[in-house]
Amino acid sequence: MKNHLLIGLICALAIPAAHAARMDGAPPAACDGLKVATGPAGKGYSKLFADMLRVSKHAMPLCEVHTDGGLDNLTTLSVKKADVGIVPIDALTKMAEGDASVAGLLVVASLNSNYLHIVTSANGFSLEGPKKFGVLKGDTRTFRIAKMSELRGAPVALVGSAQLMVRQLDKVLGYNMRYIDVDSDEAAFKKVLAGHAYAAFTIAGWPHGQVSRLTQGSGLTLANFDVPISSPYSVRPFSYKNIGVYNVQALAVQNVLVTRPFSGSKTGEVAALRQMLERELPELKDGDYEPGWNEINSFDREVKWARFARVAPKRK
């Protein structure tokens, strides 16, 4: 009897451990299919992967590799920890300048767009003016950030891929913003609420999961992107009813599914993944899946990057 109890206790302890192993981002040891680099669990890229898995009806072996997001996906692909991954085209172009492995990646499909969310304080920030007569306390004024161009010289919190994008934008704009790199949206939003950052920059497809969970009592809102921009970017409006923000202008950048250049059997597996997406796009657009699929009219939407050769999968 004691032996049965001991075995049961060991099994009970092993079950949570097994789940923890699947949550840590590493692909299962038994994965013999394509390893797909996505992003943090529950965020945009990971949700797109979950949709792919659903419509494939698990007939195609796909394993998710959790990362910090698009920028980290490029590194993950570069060191061969993933076979395919979802990345924004601007990060792909920039990182390829210093990494031959990234430069050799091939675009399998053009996906939805990512949007730069500029999260700022709904109540504004209080600043004390110059001292009166050199000694007396200056007047206090409150100001609110309503648009990107008001962030010149300001401290800003950057999350994930925004750490590269915003730095590149700032070089062009000459705003000389002061960067605070953080690990999560929650940490960035706390910086804004505490007044340590005037805005938090975070990138995701629409709707952004963390922004969608905010309420009008959260003290946070969104600022407009009001700066002229050129390719590979565009400016599009989005809305978040939950915080009372409608038709705010946002910087958009194309996401792409990329692959490492294979010459063996994985070439056929990548081709099969592309064919499955083509076949299931109507279902992804019509069914209960991520809104980002509805942005896609063609997986062949033009991007300035080398394309994966659509080779038919080999028959076993």
Q: Give how many domains the chain has, as a whole number.
A: 1
Structure confidence at residue 12 (pLDDT): 39
Q: What's phi and psi for 20, nearest 5 deg?
A: -65, -35
- Convert the pLDDT of each residue in 164-199 to its tens digit: 999 999 999 999 999 999 999 999 999 999 999 999
The answer to whether residue 25 scores a pLDDT higher than 90 is no
Residues above pLDDT 90, as percent of the chain: 71
Which of 1-5, 55-59, 123-127 is the most confident on average?
A: 55-59
235 in a structural domain: yes
- The CATH number of residue 217's host domain is 3.40.190.10
Residue 127 CB: number of other CB atoms within 10 A? 12
Of 133 and 46, the structure prediction assigns the larger pLDDT to: 46
271 in a structural domain: no
Structure confidence at residue 20 (pLDDT): 36
Token pair for 118: 């500029």
The predicted model scores a pTM of 0.79
3-state secondary structure labels for all residues of the chain = CHHHHHHHHHHHHHHHHHHHHHHCCCCCCCCCCEEEECCCCCCHHHHHHHHHHHHCCCCCCEEEECCCCHHHHHHHHHCCCCCEEEEEHHHHHHHCCCCHHHHCCEEEEEEEEEEEEEEEECCCEEEECCCECCCECCCEEEECCCEHHHHCCCEEEEECCHHHHHHHHHHHHCCCCEEEEECCHHHHHHHHHCCCCCEEEEEECCCCHHHHCCCCCCCEEECECCCCCCCCEEEEEEEEHHHCEEEEEEEEEEEEEEECCCCCHHHHHHHHHHHHHHHHHHHHHHCCCCHHHHHCCCCCCCCCCCECCCCCCCCC
- Convert the pLDDT of each residue in 249-267 to its tens digit: 999 999 999 999 998 889 9
Structure confidence at residue 142 (pLDDT): 82
Structure confidence at residue 88 as a pLDDT band (50, 70, 90): very high
- Distance, in Å, from the CA atom of 205 to the CA atom of 113, rounded to the nearest integer, reads 6
The answer to whether residue 300 scores a pLDDT higher than 60 is yes
Q: Which residue shows structure tokens 């007044």? A: 195
Domain that holds residue 206: 116-253
Structure confidence at residue 30 (pLDDT): 62
192 in a structural domain: yes
Residue 290 CB: number of other CB atoms within 10 A? 18
Structure confidence at residue 128 (pLDDT): 56
23 in a structural domain: no
Query: Distance of alpha carbon 287 from its chain centroid, rounded?
Result: 22
Structure confidence at residue 10 (pLDDT): 36
Structure confidence at residue 161 as a pLDDT band (50, 70, 90): confident
152 in a structural domain: yes
| CA-to-CA dists, residue 171 to 92, 192, 213, angstroms | 18, 23, 32
Closest CA to 89 of 251, 250, 303, 296: 303
- Convert the pLDDT of each residue in 221-252 to its tens digit: 999 999 999 888 999 999 999 999 999 999 99
11 in a structural domain: no
Q: What's phi and psi for 257, nearest 5 deg?
A: -90, 120
Average of per-residue pLDDT values in the chain? 87
The answer to whether residue 147 scores a pLDDT higher than 70 is yes
Query: Distance of alpha carbon 91 from its chain centroid, rounded?
Result: 11
Length of the chain: 316
Are 113 and 236 in contact by the 8 Å Cβ rule? The answer is yes
308 in a structural domain: no
241 in a structural domain: yes
